[in-house]
């Protein structure tokens, strides 16, 4: 492709054609390379994501530079997304650095305030040709420093979703439907009936948060009801870390990062391919251009 693209048209095409695009939270260069290689080898469109914590850890310029290099060396469409950001100034900083998609998460505020904060971001991001994602309801679990207790995880109201999209002009929406960030203690209880009503009421692509550990059959149902983007974070981190732990368990004196980063990268790559398969986006690179 040569450059990073906005995910707006990617996701709209995915919703229209009934598949989901996997969005992977990466924290190191090796993790980024792993998911890019997985996508390139399978001819799959890709969304790279970073949390606010990772942006603060690495710096947006370093992240954008690595993602732009990946786009230049790849033949697939790649977008770079800022996940779950509550800070307007950081969103602007990431847009200036070259992010092609941002999430304004104002879901912890009352509905009207969520609308006004989202509209502020839509104004600046749309002018820059950047995709915007907003959240309605609250997705449970932990995402960096945002902790939502289970009893506080509020499901999105279908009528509110339609009104919210209309009021804000937001091109992608993450409605809370019972999924959670992190690894599930039991099987997730997804409110499919509610999701179906949200899907019927809005034309924008929907986003599935908490995609780690959702059974394949449930993922496919979510995609069927307009979930055009599936976020995967925790499972990727676990695969990466477990591969490194295994190297040190076998050789505690290992001191060459290449010796443990290569197996870690391979583990992430294998997992990424299985998630792409689940979302139905393998081989769809040409479908979203």
Alpha carbon distance, N-terminus to C-terminus of the chain: 9
Phi and psi torsions of 266, nearest 5°: -65, -40
Active site annotation includes 145: no
Query: Cα–Cα distances in Å, from 80 out to 25, 28, 83, 101?
Result: 10, 14, 10, 6
Q: What is the number of other CB atoms lying within 10 angstroms of the CB of residue 194?
A: 20
> Which residues 6+ apart lie within 8 Å of 227 measured at CB?
20, 195, 205, 206, 207, 208
SS (H, E, C) 135-178: EECCCEEEECCEEECHHHCCCCCHHHHHHHHHHHCCCEEEECCC
Catalytic residue among 83, 87, 144, 145: 83
Phi and psi torsions of 79, nearest 5°: -115, 155
Query: Cα–Cα distances in Å, from 102 out to 110, 258, 261?
Result: 21, 32, 29
DSSP strand pairing (172-175 vs 131-136) = parallel
The catalytic residue positions are 83
């Amino acid at each position: 492709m040569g450059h990073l693209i906005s995910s707006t048209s990617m996701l709209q095409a995915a919703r229209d054609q009934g598949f989901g695009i996997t969005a992977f939270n990466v924290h190191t260069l090796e993790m980024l390379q792993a998911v890019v290689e997985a996508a390139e080898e399978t001819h799959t469109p890709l969304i790279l994501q970073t949390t606010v914590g990772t942006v603060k850890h690495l710096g947006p310029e370093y992240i954008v530079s690595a993602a732009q290099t990946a786009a230049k060396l790849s033949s697939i469409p790649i977008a770079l997304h800022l996940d779950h950001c509550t800070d307007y100034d950081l969103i602007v900083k990431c847009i200036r650095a070259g992010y092609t998609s941002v999430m304004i998460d104002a879901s912890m505020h009352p509905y009207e305030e969520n609308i006004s904060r989202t509209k502020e971001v839509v104004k600046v991001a749309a002018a820059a040709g950047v995709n915007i994602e907003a959240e309605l309801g609250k997705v449970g679990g932990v995402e960096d420093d945002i902790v939502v207790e289970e009893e506080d995880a509020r499901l999105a109201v279908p009528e509110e979703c339609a009104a919210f999209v209309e009021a804000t002009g937001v091109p992608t929406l993450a409605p809370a439907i019972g999924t959670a960030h992190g690894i599930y203690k039991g099987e997730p209880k997804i409110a499919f009936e509610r999701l179906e009503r949200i899907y019927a009421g809005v034309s924008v692509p929907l986003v599935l948060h908490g995609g780690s550990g959702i059974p394949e059959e449930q993922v496919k149902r979510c995609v069927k009801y307009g979930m055009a983007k599936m976020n995967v974070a925790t499972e990727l981190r676990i695969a990466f870390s477990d591969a490194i732990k295994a190297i040190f368990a076998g050789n505690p004196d290992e001191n060459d990062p290449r010796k443990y980063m290569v197996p870690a990268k391979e583990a992430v790559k294998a997992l990424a391919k299985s998630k792409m398969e689940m979302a139905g986006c393998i081989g769809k690179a040409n479908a979203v251009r």
